[in-house]
Structures are given as structure tokens and as C-alpha cells.
Structure 1
Amino acid sequence: MARMPSAERRRQLTEAAIRAMTRDGVARTTTRSIAAEAGVSLSVFHYCFDSKQALLESVITAITDEYISVVREAIQPKATLHETVRAGFRAYWDHVAAHPGTHLLTYELTQYALRQPGFGHLARRQYEVYAGTYTQLLEELRDSVEFELRIPLPALARYLVAMTDGLTLNLLVLGDDKAAAEILDTMTEHVAALVTHDGGTPASTDRAEGLLRAGITQRR
């Protein structure tokens, strides 16, 4: 077997674990099946990961990083703030529709971690990363577009995590993109109620839907 840098070998095994877990489920995926999926010996697996906890952390990180890169690539400055943010949400939504198995795996990983003694911090870290990503993306938008938040940024980030998390699960369960789109529209209207222009003037529904679905208001 050709020698490979340990970081590259870990990446290879992580990708194999994601494929195996997506296909077979977390509980039924063993270190032996992951090694077989990657085409390496079991000893190589144990050399790269000293525990299942370390493997799951690597899997969660890899999946989360992929989601972040999808949205980040889509959130590039466009003609309007509305178009910029909508592109980010659309990119994520398209990813859910195209890779339902991987997104289902994230929920399974969360539940598995919460049920296993000593693994709970992996689930907490997973959702902390989600909230941190929303926070970072909103802060980056502040650098290019002036806006004010009506609610604290950390609270808004956690709220966005809860909304997208629930909506993603709804799509995975029902498999109805039209129904999911209607729910997203309703959620958008709800978030629009958080948006005010400077001075406390409520933002119009049309403008609110464009301005970040995230409860922000553009400065005049």
C-alpha cells in the first residue's frame, strides 16, 4: 500500500465514513466497514483515529465545512442585498434537495451523540458551528453593506439555525419541495416582522423579504 500523509489518510477515511454512514446509518457502521470502504486495513484506521469519538468529530466537521463552503460561494456581492442573501439560501436549499442522505446523516449524528455518554459535546459543537457561521456571514455582510440589527446578533444567528434546521427536516420527511417553499415564505414573513428602518418604521413586506430573511434593516 502506498504511503500517504496522515492528514490525507484521515480525510480519506472521513469521506469513507460519510459514505458508509449515509448508506447504512451511524449505528450500523463499524470501523471495519469504514476501513473496507476506504480500501485500507483496520490497523490504518486505528492509526489515524484513536477513538470513535474522534472519527465522529471529523465527520461532523467535514459535513459542516461543506455546507458552509456551498453557502459562502453563493453569497457574493450582487446587485442588491436581497439577491445576495437569497442566493445563499437557495444554494443551501439546492444542496439539501440534491444530497438528502447527507443532510439526514447530520440529524442521525446529532441524536447518536446525544444518546452516547461522553459524546454530547459533539452535538453541541455541531450547533455552535452553525450559529457561528451565521454570525460570521452576517458580520461579513456588514463590511460591504451598512445595516442595523433589531435583535442581538447571537440571538438572530441561533434563530436562523433553528429555522433552517426545522425546515430541512421538514423537507427530508415530506419530500415536498413546494410545501417546503411555502413554509419558507411563511418564515420569511415572520422574520420580516423583526425588520424596521432607522427610527422604528416597519419595513415593507417586499423589502423585508429581500433584506436578508434574517431580520436586518438597511441604513438610509
Structure 2
Amino acid sequence: MARMPSAERRRQLTEAAIRAMTRDGVPRTTTRSIAAEAGVSLSVFHYCFDSKQELLESVMTTITEHYVAVVRDAIRPRATVRETIRAGLQAYWDHVAAHPGEHMLTYELTQYALRQPGFGHLARRQYELYAEIYEALIEQLAAGMELDPSVKVPVLARYLAAMTDGLTLNFLVAGDAGAAADILDVIADHVADLFRADT
């Protein structure tokens, strides 16, 4: 087996864990099955991760990174701020539609973390990460625009996280992509109304 830098090996194992957990569920995924999925020995897994908590945190962060990259790329200036916002929402939604199992896994990980003693901080960190990402995206969006001064960026970030989180779960349950598109339009309209061009 070729030697690989530790960070790259951790990434390989994390991606293997995502595949295994998406396929088999969190409770049925073992360190042995993750190592087999990655094509490495169990000792390599234990060298890279000290605990299950560390692995789960890496999985949560990596899944979020998967769709944040496409959203960040989509938020480039368009004709209107509404079009820019809608493009970012659509990029997120395209990821949900293309990878529903990965998004379902995020909910399973949240429930798992909340139910396991000592793991609750992972669920909280997951949602803090969502808010941090939305704050960064709002800042990116706000270049050349001014946000209504009555709106606090952290509050708007949590609003967007709650909206997309709820919509994603609704889609995973009901499977109604048409309704999702309509709701994304409403969210884009609402958020666009909070911005105005710099004078």
C-alpha cells in the first residue's frame, strides 16, 4: 500500500465513512467496514482517528463542504441580487437532488449525536457550522450591496439555515421537487428585499 500524507488519508477515510453510512446507516457502520470501504487496514483507521467522535465530526464537516463549494461558486454577481440569491439556493438544491442519501445522513448523524451521551456537542457544532457558512455567504453576497440595518447577519444566517434545513427534510420525506422550487422562490424574494444597492 502506497504511503499517503495523514491529512489525505483522513480525507480518504472520511469519504469512505460517508459512503458506508449513507448505504448502511450510522449504527450499522463500524470502523472495520469503513476501513474495508477505504481499502485500508483497521490499524490505519485507528492511526488517523482517535475516537468515533472525531470521525463523526470529520464526516459532518466534509458533507457540508461538499455543497458549500458549489453554493459559493454560484453566488457571483448577476443582474439582480434576487437572481444571485436564487442561483445560490438552486446550487444547494441541485446538490440535495443529486445526493439525497448524503443529506439524509446529516439528519441521521444529528439524531445519533443527540442520543449518544457525550456526543451532543457534535450536533450543536453541525448547526453552528451551517450558520457560520451562511454568514460567510451573506458577506460574499453583500459585496456592493447594503443589508437593511435592522437585520442582523447572524439572525439572517440562522433563518436561511432553518429554511433550507426544513425544506431539505420535507423533500426527503415527500419527494416534491416542484413544491421545493416554489419555496426557494419565496425565500429568494424575501432575502432579496433585505438588500439594497450601495449609493
> Kindly, what percent of the aligned residue pairs are identical?
73
Q: Which segment drifts farther, 107-116 or 152-161?
A: 152-161
Which residue is equivalent to 1:71? Answer: 71
1:14 aligns to 2:14 (yes or no): yes
User: How far apart, CA to CA, are the structure 1 residues paired with 2:118 and 2:55?
Assistant: 14
Which residue is equivalent to 2:94? Answer: 94
1:213 aligns to 2:187 (yes or no): no
Which residue is equivalent to 2:154? Answer: 154
Give the CA deviation at 1:10. 0.6
1:164 aligns to 2:164 (yes or no): yes
Q: TM-score, normalised by structure 2?
A: 0.93
**Contact 1:53-1:119 at 8 Å conserved across structures:** yes
Amino acid at match of 1:216: L
User: How far apart, CA to CA, are the structure 2 residues paired with 1:184 and 1:139?
Assistant: 20
Give the CA deviation at 1:79. 1.9
Structure 2, unaligned runs of 5 or more: none
**Contact 2:32-2:42 at 8 Å conserved across structures:** yes
Q: Which segment drifts farther, 141-150 or 4-13?
A: 141-150
User: How far apart, CA to CA, are the structure 2 residues paired with 1:180 and 1:148?
Assistant: 27
Over 3 Å counting, the alpha-carbon distance change for 1:47 and 1:213 in structure 2 is: same
Which residue is equivalent to 2:54? Answer: 54
**Dislocated runs of 4+, deviation >4 Å:** none
| Alignment length (residue pairs) | 198
Give the CA deviation at 1:215. 5.4
Q: TM-score, normalised by structure 1?
A: 0.85
Any idea what the Cα deviations from partners look like across 1:117-169, whole Å, max 9, x if unmatched? 11111111111111111111112222322332432221111111111100000
| SS of corresponding position for 2:117 | coil
Structure 1, unaligned runs of 5 or more: 189-207
**Contact 2:81-2:195 at 8 Å conserved across structures:** no
Give the CA deviation at 1:50. 1.0
User: How far apart, CA to CA, are the structure 1 residues paired with 2:105 and 2:165?
Assistant: 13
User: How far apart, CA to CA, are the structure 2 residues paired with 1:161 and 1:215?
Assistant: 18
Amino acid at match of 2:74: A
User: How far apart, CA to CA, are the structure 2 residues paired with 1:54 and 1:161?
Assistant: 24
Q: Which has the larger radius of gyration?
A: 1
Q: Note the aligned Cα RMSD (angstroms).
A: 1.7
User: How far apart, CA to CA, are the structure 2 residues paired with 1:100 and 1:110?
Assistant: 16
Amino acid at match of 1:107: Y
* Structure possessing the higher relative contact order (Cα contacts under 8 Å, 6 or more residues apart): 2
**Contact 1:156-1:215 at 8 Å conserved across structures:** no
